[in-house]
Structure 1
């Protein structure tokens, strides 16, 4: 493809990786004033204090100035050794008693809380502009000399965050699982590759450095053992994408030059970065993407950007060598206009260091370990952590619990978030986190705030001093949009971060200490944070929305594999080729795919649908290994013609994963990241609770529905069916319209009498308060619960479509002599149904199903409308 017309822009500065040199300490943070920014070299990390910059508290009439702050460093390895079995036993018994007694913890005037962010990724800013509007605005800002466009590669992997062996290892919304074990192993192996025989010492120093300075690094973890993305990587690796200084307040993210200097100090891999600082180069960048977006792969894309960028900084890991030619995309964002100058200075002063372990024996690889431990997920985790070594990971309790307390014991009582919001904050950061979480709870944002016992702080636990890890999991991008609207109303709100983990301490203080804590002792900290917030709310005079402009630019060759093939599997196998075609055509329309490519893709995807359904019959191809079938198909398809080859991009370099694929006990989101905090609802509308619920415990069947959804008819049918639900447990139905008093309390009382029977809760359960009561019943009577819902497409803001609501109204208006007096004789039946319908407002269908599935682990859908029905009449 010729780019001569759109890319007639002479090369500017191509900055290659410089010659190997000893590592240096990081430069100080850049000043937002007119002062010139200069990186500062310092001695090696084992003996140096690394300077960064902090904002001094402002005084009346005085200008704000930057003052240096020394980072603590480790002179030697101070990492603790593995905890002995005897120590764990005593602490385990203590924790077991605390878990039992924590339910009695209550908040009074002497209850305080301290919260510290432990790990986080960039906040997600949902700009309301379209991508084209963002692109136009970005070019305008660069043309005015106010900013630079920074572009980085999007590697096809999973988010991994690391805050040191005590701070913890985290995936996108979870910790203590195979994803984080793989991340720790890969990070540890990167140290071995970089430092050779010094690796154990440097791993320990790195852990100590992160812990003492409260720093978290974020990486794109790219492996072949965690399931398929767009292409199975040739090697397992990670690339640092962010470094976050957590401090004791609002997280501060390093600029890209600072990230590079940090990584070169510790010999960690960095991403490929391009900077575009003029109107001509910025315009040429977007023109290049438009020319390559449908056929671009890593080699031509990188070559084109190298030619037009003002500065190009190659990544430590060559995408083609370690990942392959299928490039997921590019991320373009607005950064400081000084970035080009800072980048050049960093590259001069911080050359890439040599890799001392390149020729040495690094031990068994990730794939070797996973292949040798195929029994279960825990065995794989255990082997990975043991192989990475005690210098990198001396403590395994985040994965395996403590003494006799297994992983499930770490899930703390659901009242933790309530107590956290009620307790007195000890500092400004805690107050801001309470403000954020309280707002999300009040607005019923679709998010969870799961709390787990913090095993790292077992020694300091007591009945009056409880320590937790809180996982803040946002379920839908719509939450970020809604939260951003709240930030416009209240500019003091902290941003809502992706990958969000908080250490929470709840404690009681005696009267004297409580009086001291209750004083306004955090005024200075508030002033400091206020100054920081105001100074960082805009960059170089840019408005907030401009400073946060960012656009993800993905390539069609990647989207064919992930969005059209992998994400379309459930539709293809559940609903058939016709529904699958509707699915992929809708996706291409949303993307604005050209008519010629739509025609080519329709032919290819229809052929794929016939091929894979014929081969697998009614058994769906697993999405985690879909490339085992898709890649050979694409390879053969590409060989037929040059046009097919251009459509596919690259094929035929398949890595076989069957022998070393990690065992995943959790779902993944649409981009392949682990999603254990909330699963994907079962795809089949006729799946039953018998598939997922043990028959040795009680069962509660309940109905998050609307009057007229046929719950009473279903309950009656179950009661009249010989054998009930197919086992020997007794059945009991309690109809809400015939029950006087507090219905759910009566259900709880009945379950206490006979906990092992099956309870049919014949009453609509429309809100989270009812769901919490059902969860409590399950805990008290050792029962499982199964939500039964009418199947419906829903809307963007309601899990039930207007067509479904019309069916419910029709059914109600056909009733006579209804025990709840909601029938054809009722003067306000329609109004009551609308009230029920509005109780679900604010949740999309996907959010609704996912939340129920996350809470209860199963979901049953009742068929309602035919998929091939005629649409509702128009106006």
Structure 2
């Protein structure tokens, strides 16, 4: 295991509670959704020329920039930034032990209730490519959308839903509802869209660059959930994130919880012993033993009998992942993520902002984690590690969307390597691999658009349907000028019909501040069409992003 000072994105993506409201840090990335409505475009923006060296080729004519009319700005996707970990290990440990120990006064009777401050979470480190999902086909990666990373991510997520909801069983045994995985994906998508959430995943794969040891099997891991409803943006606690993940069988990480001084001391011993040479199987086994010992010791101290206490029952607090590290990644473990989390009534003890935790006491938090532990065991019974990640299909779509679910991305990528090496692919062209990915997704989106349930999905594309992305031919300078002038118009608009709301003003002010500080920010203008087909009728909703 690597004991590096800088914490991985996985740790950053699971922020804990704080008494202050969450704020979007400076380093955080955001995608802005711009919706149609009338605001005049400045005259100096109506006659522009595209810079051929800085142009995203699409099917929108350049003249359309002058016709874009806007009165709202919306955060479309946000993720938690990397935060600093500059303090020494000794200082961090002292602080954690002080907070944990303050809730256990050994001079008092064992059953005396005392005010708790927090607990310690431990997760396994997974490194890959960051993927953001805001519902529907709204995927983002590498500060962009509709690229090879988002295509791979969308396919991997669709294949995960097929695996998690027994599509493999239907194909193997010839029974069951072949639309289950589509329906569950759509249900999850609609929930995310309706609640304005952004889910962040690590894509651990072998085809778009290596981030450590090559995984045995490609997989993805949910690492954070951002709530865009609040004025400043906030993030789900680990407990909330796991609840959401288990509701839709999204892929979450292994997590262990230690909440007593003896348990945390034992955790530090495990870390010190195995940080340089511990293999995954040994580390997981040792952590399981440590949380079990903690649960038994607390139960005995409370006079509840061995293995009967509230602190974790017979096995301790371990929420198990659908993707065991040793099976999917392998035995090479990159690291452990150890994080102190304040209980909600002591949120001021943790500097990582979060306002989403609804539990109020130590007992309720531990009870909730215990329920998640039990649920994770049930999910693993239904979807054991041996369930294949890819369907055994014939590789053809056949009108049922099966080609995407049965596509082996590693084989598809390998088949395009030689053609990529021999063909001259410019920056404005897609690689053969990306072209094949787009073809697969197009077929799948068309299949899903004919299986939409209940209505046309709404103007936000929350329902089913095909999301068509195209990019206008405007250079970087023109895009920057357009956004700067647009924000000025929004912030100075006096027409009551403009309806410039608080979120729009906040985003516009941020963009203006970046411009005044000469911070090199780029803005893409993207045309999005959601085509939804019901009863042989096609409805098209168009927005400019």
The bucket for the TM-score relative to the shorter chain is 0.5 to 0.7
Structure 2 unaligned spans of 5+: 1-15, 20-57, 103-115, 168-177, 295-316, 344-361, 393-404, 421-429, 450-463, 492-499, 532-539
Among 102, 127, 147, the residue aligned to 1:156: 127
Q: Are residues 411 and 245 of structure 1, via their aligned partners in 2, closer, same or farther at CA, if it must alter by over 3 Å?
A: farther
Structure 1 unaligned spans of 5+: 1-29, 34-91, 106-110, 469-875
- Residue matched to 1:384: 437
Please show how residues 199-210 of structure 1 align to structure 2 within 5 Å: 199-210=181-192
> What is the CA-CA distance between 1:219 and the residue it aligns to?
0.9
Please show how residues 4-83 of structure 1 align to structure 2 within 5 Å: none
Contact kept? 2:133, 2:200, Cα under 8 Å: yes
Among 319, 331, 337, the residue aligned to 1:313: 319
Aligned pair 1:428/2:487, yes or no?
Answer: no
- Residue matched to 1:352: 379
Task: String of CA shifts for 1:463-497, please: whole Å, max 9, x gaps.
Answer: xxx933xxxxxxxxxxxxxxxxxxxxxxxxxxxxx
**What is the alpha-carbon distance in structure 2 between the residues aligned to residue 304 and residue 142 of structure 1?**
21
> What is the CA-CA distance between 1:246 and the residue it aligns to?
1.8
**What is the alpha-carbon distance in structure 1 between the residues aligned to residue 336 and residue 72 of structure 2?**
39
Contact kept? 1:156, 1:327, Cα under 8 Å: no
Please show how residues 255-266 of structure 1 align to structure 2 within 5 Å: 255-266=237-248
> What is the CA-CA distance between 1:164 and the residue it aligns to?
1.9
- Residue matched to 1:588: none
> What is the CA-CA distance between 1:250 and the residue it aligns to?
2.9
SS in 1 for 2:525: strand
**What is the alpha-carbon distance in structure 2 between the residues aligned to residue 231 and residue 283 of structure 1?**
30
SS in 2 for 1:397: strand
> What is the CA-CA distance between 1:148 and the residue it aligns to?
1.2
- Residue matched to 1:830: none
Task: String of CA shifts for 1:706-739, please: whole Å, max 9, x gaps.
Answer: xxxxxxxxxxxxxxxxxxxxxxxxxxxxxxxxxx
Alignment TM-score, normalising by the size of structure 1: 0.38
**What is the alpha-carbon distance in structure 2 between the residues aligned to residue 130 and residue 263 of structure 1?**
34
- Residue matched to 2:92: 134
Contact kept? 2:319, 2:372, Cα under 8 Å: no
> What is the CA-CA distance between 1:220 and the residue it aligns to?
1.0
**What is the alpha-carbon distance in structure 2 between the residues aligned to residue 435 and residue 246 of structure 1?**
17
Q: Are residues 269 and 32 of structure 1, via their aligned partners in 2, closer, same or farther at CA, if it must alter by over 3 Å?
A: same
Q: Are residues 285 and 93 of structure 1, via their aligned partners in 2, closer, same or farther at CA, if it must alter by over 3 Å?
A: closer
**What is the alpha-carbon distance in structure 1 between the residues aligned to residue 256 and residue 468 of structure 2?**
41
Segment of structure 1 superposing worse, 207-216 or 345-354: 345-354
SS in 1 for 2:544: strand
> What is the CA-CA distance between 1:412 and the residue it aligns to?
6.1
> What is the CA-CA distance between 1:159 and the residue it aligns to?
1.1
- Residue matched to 1:397: 468
**What is the alpha-carbon distance in structure 1 between the residues aligned to residue 439 and residue 477 of structure 2?**
25
Please show how residues 274-673 of structure 1 align to structure 2 within 5 Å: 274-309=256-291, 311-337=317-343, 338=362, 339-348=365-374, 351-352=378-379, 354-355=382-383, 358=387, 361=392, 362-374=405-417, 375-376=419-420, 377-388=430-441, 389-390=444-445, 391=448, 395=466, 397-398=468-469, 401=470, 413-425=479-491, 426-443=500-517, 448-456=521-529, 467-468=544-545
Contact kept? 2:118, 2:340, Cα under 8 Å: yes
Contact kept? 1:155, 1:328, Cα under 8 Å: yes
**What is the alpha-carbon distance in structure 2 between the residues aligned to residue 334 and residue 448 of structure 1?**
34
Q: Are residues 138 and 451 of structure 1, via their aligned partners in 2, closer, same or farther at CA, if it must alter by over 3 Å?
A: farther
- Residue matched to 2:76: 118
Please show how residues 737-752 of structure 1 align to structure 2 within 5 Å: none
**What is the alpha-carbon distance in structure 2 between the residues aligned to residue 174 and residue 429 of structure 1?**
22
SS in 1 for 2:145: coil
SS in 2 for 1:115: strand
**What is the alpha-carbon distance in structure 1 between the residues aligned to residue 475 and residue 487 of structure 2?**
23
Give the count of matched residue pairs. 363
Task: String of CA shifts for 1:312-369, please: whole Å, max 9, x gaps.
Answer: 2222111111111222222222324344232113345674272499475251211122
Q: Are residues 96 and 395 of structure 1, via their aligned partners in 2, closer, same or farther at CA, if it must alter by over 3 Å?
A: farther
Task: String of CA shifts for 1:833-867, please: whole Å, max 9, x gaps.
Answer: xxxxxxxxxxxxxxxxxxxxxxxxxxxxxxxxxxx
**What is the alpha-carbon distance in structure 1 between the residues aligned to residue 62 and residue 321 of structure 2?**
48
Among 47, 53, 64, the residue aligned to 1:98: 64
Aligned pair 1:188/2:178, yes or no?
Answer: no
Segment of structure 1 superposing worse, 360-369 or 370-379: 370-379
Q: Are residues 383 and 209 of structure 1, via their aligned partners in 2, closer, same or farther at CA, if it must alter by over 3 Å?
A: farther
**What is the alpha-carbon distance in structure 2 between the residues aligned to residue 267 and residue 329 of structure 1?**
25
**What is the alpha-carbon distance in structure 2 between the residues aligned to residue 31 and residue 173 of structure 1?**
28
Contact kept? 1:147, 1:334, Cα under 8 Å: yes
**What is the alpha-carbon distance in structure 2 between the residues aligned to residue 176 and residue 410 of structure 1?**
18
Task: String of CA shifts for 1:810-830, please: whole Å, max 9, x gaps.
Answer: xxxxxxxxxxxxxxxxxxxxx
Q: Are residues 364 and 134 of structure 1, via their aligned partners in 2, closer, same or farther at CA, if it must alter by over 3 Å?
A: same
Contact kept? 2:465, 2:530, Cα under 8 Å: no
Task: String of CA shifts for 1:229-279, please: whole Å, max 9, x gaps.
Answer: 210011111011112222263333222222222222212211010112122
- Residue matched to 2:425: none
**What is the alpha-carbon distance in structure 1 between the residues aligned to residue 335 and residue 501 of structure 2?**
41
Bigger Rg, which one: 1
> What is the CA-CA distance between 1:308 and the residue it aligns to?
2.0
Contact kept? 1:149, 1:334, Cα under 8 Å: yes
Among 206, 220, 243, the residue aligned to 2:202: 220
**What is the alpha-carbon distance in structure 1 between the residues aligned to residue 161 and residue 148 of structure 2?**
20
Contact kept? 2:490, 2:508, Cα under 8 Å: no
> What is the CA-CA distance between 1:443 and the residue it aligns to?
4.7
Contact kept? 1:185, 1:385, Cα under 8 Å: no
**What is the alpha-carbon distance in structure 1 between the residues aligned to residue 17 and residue 80 of structure 2?**
21
- Residue matched to 1:850: none
> What is the CA-CA distance between 1:188 and the residue it aligns to?
0.7
**What is the alpha-carbon distance in structure 1 between the residues aligned to residue 530 and residue 484 of structure 2?**
21
SS in 1 for 2:188: helix
**What is the alpha-carbon distance in structure 1 between the residues aligned to residue 502 and residue 525 of structure 2?**
23
Contact kept? 1:233, 1:323, Cα under 8 Å: yes
SS in 1 for 2:231: coil
Q: Are residues 347 and 292 of structure 1, via their aligned partners in 2, closer, same or farther at CA, if it must alter by over 3 Å?
A: closer
SS in 2 for 1:206: helix
> What is the CA-CA distance between 1:437 and the residue it aligns to?
4.2
Alignment TM-score, normalising by the size of structure 2: 0.59
**What is the alpha-carbon distance in structure 1 between the residues aligned to residue 95 and residue 191 of structure 2?**
40
Where relative contact order (Cα < 8 A, 6+ residues apart) is larger, the structure is 2
> What is the CA-CA distance between 1:31 and the residue it aligns to?
11
**What is the alpha-carbon distance in structure 1 between the residues aligned to residue 483 and residue 263 of structure 2?**
49
Q: Are residues 290 and 372 of structure 1, via their aligned partners in 2, closer, same or farther at CA, if it must alter by over 3 Å?
A: same
Contact kept? 2:514, 2:521, Cα under 8 Å: no
Q: Are residues 379 and 336 of structure 1, via their aligned partners in 2, closer, same or farther at CA, if it must alter by over 3 Å?
A: same
